[in-house]
């Protein structure tokens, strides 16, 4: 995995990198790339991951598997090393939505050791999945929104075509598919990286060589803190700590962090209002998971590190709002790499997201490697 869960490509691992089984010269996605690879090659039926801004869903998309980010608070964060505490969410990867629903039942529920854990009934999600053999229109009565704000210029034509195909398939399965507006989506990426890096800088302050974690004891006490953090953290982790420390500084707090929190509230209210089914009547959204297929590892070596953050543009809104999202494989690019589409539903309504994903995965899912 990417060190401390920081990365969307799976190339920041302290122990080295995982490679994509669909093409070993390509990135597996991150931060939970190793889990996605393990499922993709059949080493396990399912695997755990952590999703802060897309770290389960992006590897799922790049490796052609199912990735589930549950609602924030649905699964305990106890035992998960904190990156950004208000965003971190344990998730899972599997080869089918049915397996994902079963595992989610096993890991969800209230945990007294986690203050963010929510006391909410855990449904039998697997039993609630539509019976595709018995129902000719399994999505009948559902209204699915297509937010055109996600049709950014960086979105590849192949992913755009797969998105349109998924929407048409949902329509054929009985759903009403409509365009919806999410005007604050364009601010989601900047908002996410402001908040996430600030929380990372705060959470990782404990790794100081004295109280917690690795310690470089060869130096004098004066140099211990500097040397420990310089040696123990990789370049991407150091970069995010530095950015986070800046946005939390007295000079920048009101300009960046405070404004980001305000915009986050707008994004959250926008999604909650849309998916509540009260005014809009929209029960779920369909959105691409990634801008394209898995990139070549070599092409990322000369990439501006900040440009790599653009990979998260499709996944961070659901994370900021704390709503569930399920990524499923729906096709292949021209060079044979998987394409993923997300189903997003209202908070603590994982059943709807899983149902739609289950129905769409059957006709649209890509072949497995194993």
Q: Would you write out the chain's pLDDT as a tens digit for each of its 370 residues?
A: 999 999 999 999 988 888 999 999 999 999 999 999 999 999 999 999 999 999 999 999 999 999 999 999 999 999 999 999 999 999 999 999 999 999 999 999 999 999 999 999 999 999 999 998 877 899 999 999 999 889 999 999 999 999 999 999 999 999 999 999 999 988 999 999 999 999 999 999 888 877 777 777 766 666 777 787 788 899 999 999 999 999 999 999 999 999 999 999 999 999 999 998 665 689 999 999 999 999 999 988 777 877 788 889 999 999 999 999 999 999 999 999 999 999 999 999 999 999 999 999 988 877 777 6
What pLDDT is stored for residue 292 in this prediction? Answer: 96
Tokens 């790499």 belong to residue = 337
Tokens 């080295």 belong to residue = 16
Architecture of domain 3-181+284-364: Alpha-Beta Complex (3.90)
To the question of pTM greater than 0.85 for the whole model, the response is: yes
What pLDDT is stored for residue 132 in this prediction? Answer: 87
Q: Report how far residue 114's alpha carbon sits from residue 247's, in angstroms, rounded to the nearest whole number.
A: 27
What pLDDT is stored for residue 370 in this prediction? Answer: 60
Sheet of 89-94, strands arranged across: 46-51, 89-94, 66-69, 325-332, 338-345, 284-288, 143-147, 176-180
What pLDDT is stored for residue 220 in this prediction? Answer: 63
What pLDDT is stored for residue 257 in this prediction? Answer: 96
What pLDDT is stored for residue 278 in this prediction? Answer: 61
- Are 334 and 158 contacting, i.e. CB atoms less than 8 angstroms apart? yes
Number of helices (H), then strands (E), belonging to the chain: the values are 12, 8
């Amino acid at each position: 995995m990417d060190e401390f869960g920081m990365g969307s490509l799976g190339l920041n691992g302290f122990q080295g990198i995982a490679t994509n089984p669909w093409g070993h010269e390509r990135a597996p996605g991150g931060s939970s790339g190793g889990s996605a690879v393990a499922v993709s090659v059949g080493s396990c039926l399912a695997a755990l991951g952590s999703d802060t801004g897309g770290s389960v869903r992006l590897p799922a998309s790049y490796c052609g598997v199912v990735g589930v980010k549950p609602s924030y608070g649905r699964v305990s964060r106890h035992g998960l090393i904190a990156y950004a505490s208000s965003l971190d969410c344990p998730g899972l990867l599997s080869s089918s939505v049915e397996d994902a629903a079963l595992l989610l039942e096993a890991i969800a529920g209230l945990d007294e050791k986690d203050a963010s854990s929510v006391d909410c009934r855990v449904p039998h999600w697997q039993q609630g999945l539509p019976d595709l053999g018995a129902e000719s229109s399994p999505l009948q009565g559902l209204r699915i929104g297509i937010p055109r704000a996600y049709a950014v210029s960086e979105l590849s034509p192949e992913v755009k075509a797969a998105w349109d195909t998924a929407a048409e398939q949902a329509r054929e399965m009985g759903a009403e598919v409509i365009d919806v507006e999410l005007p604050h989506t364009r601010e989601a990426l900047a908002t996410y990286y402001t908040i996430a890096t600030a929380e990372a800088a705060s959470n990782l302050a404990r790794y100081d060589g004295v109280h917690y974690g690795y310690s470089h004891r060869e130096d004098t006490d004066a140099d211990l803190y500097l040397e420990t953090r310089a040696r123990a953290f990789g370049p991407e982790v150091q970069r995010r700590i530095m950015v986070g420390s800046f946005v939390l500084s007295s000079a920048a707090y009101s300009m960046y962090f405070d404004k980001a929190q305000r915009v986050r509230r707008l994004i959250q209210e926008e999604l909650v209002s849309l998916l509540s089914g009260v005014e809009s009547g929209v029960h779920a959204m369909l959105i691409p998971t990634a801008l394209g297929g898995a990139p070549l590892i070599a092409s990322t070596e000369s990439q501006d590190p900040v440009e790599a953050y653009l990979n998260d543009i499709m996944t961070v809104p659901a994370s900021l709002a704390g709503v569930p999202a399920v990524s499923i494989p729906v096709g292949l690019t021209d060079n044979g790499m998987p394409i993923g589409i997300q189903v997003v539903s209202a908070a603590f309504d994982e059943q709807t997201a899983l149902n739609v994903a289950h129905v769409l995965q059957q006709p649209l899912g890509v072949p497995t490697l194993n």
